[in-house]
Structure 1
């Protein structure tokens, strides 16, 4: 079985080597890039299964690198940064990152997040490569509405019989709301259920993901993601 490959992008070679050591011990294959330009080259040549991307890079910063990669790939991206401000986290998530870890971080947490994100994405990919709308989206745990099937078991979303590409956290948010139709959740409740304690207070994270979901879905059906002003969101079924 081939090792999963992780591209580490950090201009601090000591930190990059340390991260590489942690991941090698968990049987991942790693490659290091120390600036944005070489990161984009390595992405094409190395074809990683996941990217650990530092925000502060010489020349092209991590946000620019993430934006460029998202133009051609949905490869999982975890951004690393010494900046812990809400704005920085939201910006990273808004341009397509799947997760955001603030430095300094615990090595065990980093490895755990890498593994969890890879498992979710691999599950989604394995089941979507041989996708058959007659059965693949109806295996396991799913919710179904007018022209929409959200399957949390194999991480697939289909709209009008077509498979939608969707990062894990967006899919989890959609499933959480859709599996509880017409129930209103505050931003704080959604943060606690889907992101955990470390994001508490960072309510704009929810708004960013809701916005990205709405861009992929349409409002022509008998369901929609509805904003309850002053409170939060619900999956409204008419």
Structure 2
């Protein structure tokens, strides 16, 4: 699946040009016309990169950038009408990956986005696990199911996340309850039926996210994640 880029800008002409150029290069796009919508779409869709204008209605780009950084490490390119060194320094200090000034050539912005995504994907390759439609972000403690309509985030407890991440490291392997206890509950006295309870809750959440059959029970042995189902 191609990378999803969120364009957060209320300048319709600029958005149209960027959107067309990004799509020609094979990216998927989604557009937000104000800061609150940008924050909401980021939370819902988990885009791979954000093009974020500083001057946005309702919530400005600085405020949105701060929230995105509190959530995680989604790459962000800040967009501004002003070529000010103070703005560039502030953007980098808060955590932006790049800073571009209008007017710009859309193809140049696309080239910057491609370079950032290449670096980002390389850095995250060992920090993101994928099993079929399941994506587990180890650093951010986030898990989601990839669907044709976008990512469906799983609302997991810390224990459920640990179990899911542990199993996602070796899909198709059957994990005994004892192995799960040792890996996820070190130095704790946990009953096997407690593991069954956590796995049962986890499986219901996967089923509700259109991933029924991803987590299976191997009778008399334990549990496994199916790479295909």
Match of 2:80 in 1: 81
Q: Does 1:31 align with 2:50?
A: no
- Extract unaligned runs of 5+ from structure 2: 130-229
User: What is the RMSD computed on CA atoms of the aligned residues?
Assistant: 1.1
1:192-231 alignment runs, 5 A limit: none
- Extract unaligned runs of 5+ from structure 1: 131-238
Look up the SS of the partner of 1:79 in the other structure: strand
Match of 1:51 in 2: 50
CA distance in 2, matches of 1:3, 1:76: 16
How far did residue 113 of structure 1 move?
Answer: 0.2
Match of 1:108 in 2: 107
1:105-184 alignment runs, 5 A limit: 105-129=104-128
CA distance in 2, matches of 1:38, 1:48: 13
How far did residue 127 of structure 1 move?
Answer: 3.0
Q: Does 1:18 align with 2:17?
A: yes
Look up the SS of the partner of 2:7 in the other structure: strand
CA distance in 2, matches of 1:59, 1:47: 21
- After TM superposition, the score normalised by the length of structure 1 is 0.53
Look up the SS of the partner of 1:127 in the other structure: coil
Q: Which runs of 4+ in 1 moved over 2 A?
A: 127-130
Asked if the contact 2:54/2:60 (under 8 Å) is kept, the reply is yes
Change (3 A) 1:46 1:128: closer
CA distance in 1, matches of 2:128, 2:6: 23
Match of 2:213 in 1: none
Larger radius of gyration: 2
How far did residue 115 of structure 1 move?
Answer: 0.3
- After TM superposition, the score normalised by the length of structure 2 is 0.55
Match of 2:182 in 1: none
- Paired positions, count: 129
